[in-house]
Amino acid sequence: MKVAKSCRQCRTAKRKCTLDTVSRSTCTLCAQKGLECSLTRLSSTRPKPIAPAAMASESSTKVNGVSRNQIIDIYIERIHDKPHTLFHPATLKSRVQAGALPEPVLFSILALAARLSSDQDIRERAYDLFQTAKESFKRTLDEVTLDNVHAATLIGNLCGVEGDASGESLFFGIAFRMALILRLPEPSPEDDSIMKEMKIRTYWSLYMIDQWSSAGLDVPRQISDTSENPLPMPELEYWQLRPGEQRMRTTAKDHDPGLWGYMVILARIFGKIHELHKRLANGDLTDSQTEEHTRVLALQLERFAQNLPSNVAHTKDNLEHHAMLGLGATFVALHLGYHHYSTLLYFHYLDSTVSQVPNQNLFAARCKYHAAAFSDLLNLSNGIAGCEAVYFIVSHMTVISSSALLHTLLFGEPSELPDTRRRLSSNFQILLKLKQYWPDVNMMITRLFTFQEACMRSTDQVYVVDKWIVKFLLQHALPIEKNLRPPATDYLAERDKFAEDALSILRPVRLE
């Protein structure tokens, strides 16, 4: 007879069951909810959890036989400089090796990177590392430091991948408030060039996170949009800075921005797209006003792409060149963002009932183009070493690209179907891969099934864009309810067979 590894409550809720570090006799979920835990009578036979101090000591050498430094390398190579840019890589490594990195930061990094390890034991410890990071952060919560800004930011990301929307919002909020108290990105007189740039990058990471999380959680933004602060410098220049070095850089126009600088410029446009969608959902705009706002934002996106330096433009040669420099995944992140934001901007015009809008066909075609371009780049990047996009938010972006492609599969011309099927299959392979790393990818996949059902309940062979679709496009951290409409026509039901065939790869296998 097998010994239960999780309590009844956690098994019912399909949550990972971990022993509470305070009581040692009940699991964390039951302790939080004040429930009687079925593990209480088993706790005497369970192994004691590793205390933070002991785990810190262990982490100074190895984590389950894998070098701690190897896990830090995974974080730098596969996560850092993609969804956020918080550290100077060489300085981060030296602090880890010297044991000078605070526990909340260390364990947050280990918890994120452990999920991407090739070692199964390390992946299984990711959740426990996450819990240790949270507990150690709570002990230093009243210390307003740059390290704690980083810790809160990383823990917010970890909450997001676990599907804890409230925790994500809470820890991001703490990071935002601490950053404001510290007056980021203003430097202190004693800061060297590394610290100055680190503060700039931390500020803009929080700005980017605020743009995404406010949309994903449907809450107000907290980091103001300003062009007064300097953009992040080119990554290679930053990496080459040495401790104690002083490099004068006082304005935003002192240098050409790095890849992350261009991401910031894109994020500003995304903020405006978000506002447009909110106004559209609230019925604040007429069709002609919506078209005008879309046209203005479309021009901004076009100018952004046109004004990129030739070595930053989206070409395969540039991708391979950046990969050689160790910047391949960051380069991919920039251009995936561009195609994702463009898909969001034009998604409204897939609704062909907006026929009175002169640019409806043009904007709908652009939506399809950018959804396809996103898919093609994502597929290409996965075949080039050092270019893979494996951070969590890629799953949401891939679902949006797949939704536009799925719409084409259901409502597009017959000539569009072969390439659309191929791209959907490629996207779904990526989602299945991401699902191995990040628990909440399952929710993202569920949203795609829900979108398909909503399309099937459309009438007159079109999909009508409304408040529901705005939630679907932007509120990626929140559950999406089903959009109930009349059932599909016979024509659409026939097309849905194609969609069902494409989606079958994502559906869980039922055991008979």
What is the per-residue pLDDT across 232-271, written as a single tens digit (0 to 9) for each?
Answer: 999 999 999 999 998 765 444 446 899 999 999 999 999 9
Residue bearing the bigger pLDDT, 14 or 163: 163
Which residue did the predictor score with more confidence, 381 or 59?
381
Is the pLDDT at 485 greater than 60? The verdict is no
pLDDT recorded at residue 42: 37
Q: What is the pLDDT of residue 470?
A: 52
Instruction: Give Rg (Cα) of the chain.
Output: 24
CB-facing half-sphere around the CA of 52: CA atoms within 13 A: 20
Average pLDDT over residues 178-195: 95
Q: How far apart are CA 174 and CA 179, in angstroms?
A: 8
User: What residue type is 415 in one-letter code?
Assistant: S
pLDDT confidence bin for 23, thresholds 50/70/90: very low
Q: Which two tokens stand for residue 328?
A: 């391949």
Cβ atoms of residues 115 and 123 within 8 Å: yes
User: Which one has a higher pLDDT value, 504 or 410?
Assistant: 410
Instruction: Give the whole-angstrom CA distance, residue 388 versus residue 382.
Output: 5
Q: How far separated are the first and last CA of the chain, in Å rounded?
A: 23
Helix (H, G, I), strand (E, B) or coil at 150: helix
What DSSP state is assigned to residue 349? G
CA 260 to chain centre: 15
Give the predicted TM-score (pTM) of the model: 0.81
Q: Which range, of 45-49, 77-81, 328-332, 406-410, averages the lowest pLDDT?
A: 45-49
pLDDT bin (cut points 50, 70, 90) of residue 499 is low
Alpha-carbon distance 204 to 70, whole Å? 27
Confidence of residue 475 (pLDDT cuts 50, 70, 90): low
Mean pLDDT within 322-350:
95
Tell me which residue has tokens 């864009």.
465
CA 353/CA 334 separation, integer angstroms: 33
What mean pLDDT comes out for the span 167-187? 95
Q: How far apart are CA 57 and CA 509, in angstroms?
A: 42
Residue 503 has pLDDT above 50, yes or no: yes
Residue 508: left if φ>0, alpha if ψ -120 to 50, beta else—which one? beta
- pLDDT per residue as tens digits for the range 411-444: 888 899 899 999 989 998 999 999 999 988 888 8
CA dist 235 and 182 (Å) reads 24
Least confident of 94-98, 293-297, 349-353: 349-353
Mean pLDDT of the chain, nearest integer: 82
Reference 155, options 168, 141, 166, 139; nearest CA is 168
Question: For residue range 303-322, what is the model confidence (pLDDT) as tens digits?
Answer: 999 999 999 999 999 999 99
Residue tagged 């959902």 (tokens): 281
Q: What's residue 323's pLDDT?
A: 96
Task: Name the token pair of 468.
Answer: 């529901």
pLDDT band at 91 (very low <50, low <70, confident <90, very high): very high
**pLDDT above 70 (res 216):** no
Residue 196 vs residue 359, higher pLDDT: 196
Residue 115 has pLDDT above 50, yes or no: yes
